[in-house]
Structures are given as C-alpha cells and as structure tokens.
Structure 1
Amino acid sequence: MTEHSTRAIRFAAAYALLRMAADVGDHWIQSHHQALTKGQHDENEGQSSRAGRIACTAHVATYTATQAAVLLTGSRVLGLRLKPSRVIAALALSAGTHWWADRRIHLKALAEAIGKEEYYALGGPLGGNYALDQSFHHAVETAAALIAASK
C-alpha cells in the first residue's frame, strides 16, 4: 500500500469517527438546558448572554470529549496511528468552530452576509438554521479529519 492510499484510509476513518461522534455529542450527550440556552444573547428579551456562553462552553466541552474518545479509540482499534499533535489540532479546530457556530449569532450573520437569511429563517426546529448549522459542522469536520490524518 502506498503512503497516499494509507493517508486516504486514515482520512476516511477519521472523518467517519468524527462525524459519528459529532452526532452523538450534539444529539445524545448535549443536555436539554444546553440546547435551549447556548444561543442566548442579551438582546433576546432579557435572556442572559453569560448564561448562553456558559451553556455553549459546557456543550462544546462534552462534544469535544466525545469526539476525542471516539477518535482515539477508533484510531487504536483500526491501527490508524494518528499523531497526537494532529489529533489535538483537529479537535481544537472542531471545538472552536463548534462554539462559534452554536452561539448562533455568528452563523446567522454569515447566512445574512451571503444572502441566505431567508433560508436561515425557515421555520421549525429542523429548519434552515439547523440545516446551515449542520452543514457548517460537516465542513469543519472534513477539515479536522484532513488535519488528523496528515503526516
């Protein structure tokens, strides 16, 4: 097997592990309180920006711990031999951007800046804002998997 095919296998496995862990962290591990509170800002009719930051930070901590546990366990079981420094860099990228997006105000501003405000505003709990949030996370997880799989 060539170094290129080995790297491609490491990338595919790292992406699958990160993606699965992200879904578990976002939908099973995240508490109801975190989900409801993480996007709160002072301009939201008296809702506390501090409470939103705390809830988002707590969510991202458990989300990142879930990704770390799955990625490290999967790497060991599959014999991927991912470099710890690359795994840390991948998880840092995932955590930082996840916090940024889950505060909601930033992702909404991005959607507005690129003309997606109507799509973002589509109603329901699984509306446009959720779809844009998830696609943003998928894109970042792809980049994180590339980092984790690199030399």
Structure 2
Amino acid sequence: MSADAGTFAAVGFALYAAHMVGGHWVQREREALGKGAAGWSGRYLAARHVASLTAVKVLFLAAVWLVFGLSLAPFAVVVGLVVDALSHWWADRRHTLARLARRTGKGGWWDHDPQAPYLLDQSWHTGWLFVAALIVTGVTS
C-alpha cells in the first residue's frame, strides 16, 4: 500500500531541507575539505559527515511525522535513509563522481567550470533524496 502525495511531499521536503542544513551548516570544515582524500582518512571523514547528515535527516523526518501524524513504516524509513546515506557517501568521495561525470560526457564541464563539481554533486544528492522519499513513503505497515 502506498502513501498519498501529501505524505511523499512532506517526506521529500523534509529530506531536502535536512540535506541542505546538514550538508552546509552541520558538516564540519575538516569533513568538507577532507572527505574526498585518498585512503582511510578520506573514507572516515566522508562517513562521519554522512552520519551527522543522516542524524539531521532523522530529526527532520521525526518533525514532519509528529506535526502531520504521518503513517510511515519504520523499516521503509530505515531502508530509505540507508540508500540515501550510501549514495551520499559514494558521491562525496569525489573521485567517484568525477569518474561518472567523465563517463557520461561531462568531464570537460567538470574540469573547466569551477561550479560544475558542486552542481553535479548536489543534483546527484537531490536525485537520491527523491528515491529515498519514494522508498520511505512507498511501503507502509
């Protein structure tokens, strides 16, 4: 059984708002600058960023759940957040997203426009937030 469009909209906006707050205000400077580094240091900083970002998303989802009395299946919420977290970590390692940009014909833009990496990163995350919202609201208990 699927949730209604209003639930999807509330969950989707909560995830997007949390993404923006968690990614720009909560993320520590060290994480922002080091999460793309090679080796375990970069992996750790990316994981730490994703953990705090996911915590913000849990808080924002809890707020819309409480305010609007949404019917969300806990398993679906967990799966949606895990999918989002994994996709976020993958992209934030940076070399992965750069490789994807090159394979999809966006390498020149990536290399020559200083805004391209950020724009492609954010659009990647937004696309996966959409998927996460579908997962969170598509399964009810």
Shorter-chain TM-score: which interval?
Answer: over 0.9
Give 1:22's match in structure 2, choosing from 11, 16, 19.
19
Is contact 1:34-1:56 (8 Å) kept?
yes
One-letter identity of the residue aligned with 1:141: L
Give 1:33's match in structure 2, choosing from 20, 30, 35.
30
Match of 1:150 in 2: 138
Mapped partners of 1:82, 1:65: distance in 2: 17
1:123 Cα deviation (Å)? 4.0
Post-superposition Cα deviations, 1:5-31, rounded to whole Å, max 9, x if no partner, equal: x52111111100000000011000000
Match of 1:93 in 2: 83
TM-score normalised according to structure 2 size = 0.94
Q: Structure 1: which 5+ residue stretches go unaligned?
A: 42-48
TM-score normalised according to structure 1 size = 0.88
Match of 1:122 in 2: 112
Give identity over the alignment, percent: 38
Mapped partners of 1:51, 1:36: distance in 2: 11
1:122 Cα deviation (Å)? 3.5
CA RMSD of aligned residues (A): 1.3
Q: With CA pairs under 8 Å and 6+ residues apart, which has the higher RCO, 1 or 2?
A: 2
Q: Structure 2: which 5+ residue stretches go unaligned?
A: none
